[in-house]
């Protein structure tokens, strides 16, 4: 059985992952409206990935005999600015999620829940990848700026993400 304290933090993380999905969906919609279909596609894939993270947490909590308590999800912003500003927000959000995962892991340590510690290592590694990817895209965007052929090239490259 999972402790009540750890169960509550898992439920908070489920809510955070679902909120992340909503943010990425809103970013995708805005990008599509700006005719940046590659950005939109990449962000939609992020949306799907964040939902899968939420389900992974839900399944784990249920496997451990915990109770899943879905929480309200705030509406995300509707506008995110230029592509550079958008990816600054993506990176900042991924850093925020990393901090949440780290706090969840700290609770697993405090509760001496070794199974949860092992389970959460996947999320910790995933966040390293998420931050690195967002940072790399942001740096490329800063290099080329928000307009011109180079931006369209990055848009095309982002659209290749499956």
Cα dist. 43→20, 133, 160 in Å? 11, 12, 12
d(CA 129, CA 27): 20
Q: Is 93 annotated as a binding residue?
A: no
126 is known to lie in a ligand binding site: no
Gap between the Cα atoms of 126 and 120, Å rounded:
10
Q: Is 130 annotated as a binding residue?
A: no
- Give the Cα separation of 58 and 77 in Å (integer): 26
- The answer to the question of whether 50 is labelled as a binding residue is yes
Torsion angle, alpha carbons of 40, 11, 89, 149, to 10: -20
- Say if residue 106 carries a ligand binding annotation: no
Annotated binding site for Fe cation: 17, 50, 53, 94, 127
Q: Which residues define the annotated binding site?
A: 17, 50, 53, 94, 127
């Amino acid at each position: 059985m999972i402790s009540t304290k750890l169960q509550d933090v898992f439920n908070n993380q489920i809510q955070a992952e679902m909120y992340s999905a909503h943010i990425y969906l809103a970013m995708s919609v805005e990008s599509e409206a700006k005719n940046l279909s590659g950005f939109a596609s990449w962000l939609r894939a992020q949306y799907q990935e964040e939902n899968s993270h939420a389900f992974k947490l839900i399944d784990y909590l249920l496997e451990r005999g915990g109770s899943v308590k879905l929480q309200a999800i705030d509406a995300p912003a509707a506008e995110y600015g230029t592509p550079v500003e958008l990816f600054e927000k993506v990176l900042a959000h991924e850093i925020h999620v990393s901090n949440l995962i780290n706090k969840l892991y700290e609770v697993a340590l405090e509760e001496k829940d070794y199974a949860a510690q092992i389970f959460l290592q996947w999320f910790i590694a995933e966040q390293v990848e998420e931050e690195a990817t967002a940072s790399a895209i942001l740096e490329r965007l800063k290099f080329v700026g928000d307009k011109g052929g180079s931006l369209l090239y990055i848009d095309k490259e982002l659209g290749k993400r499956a």
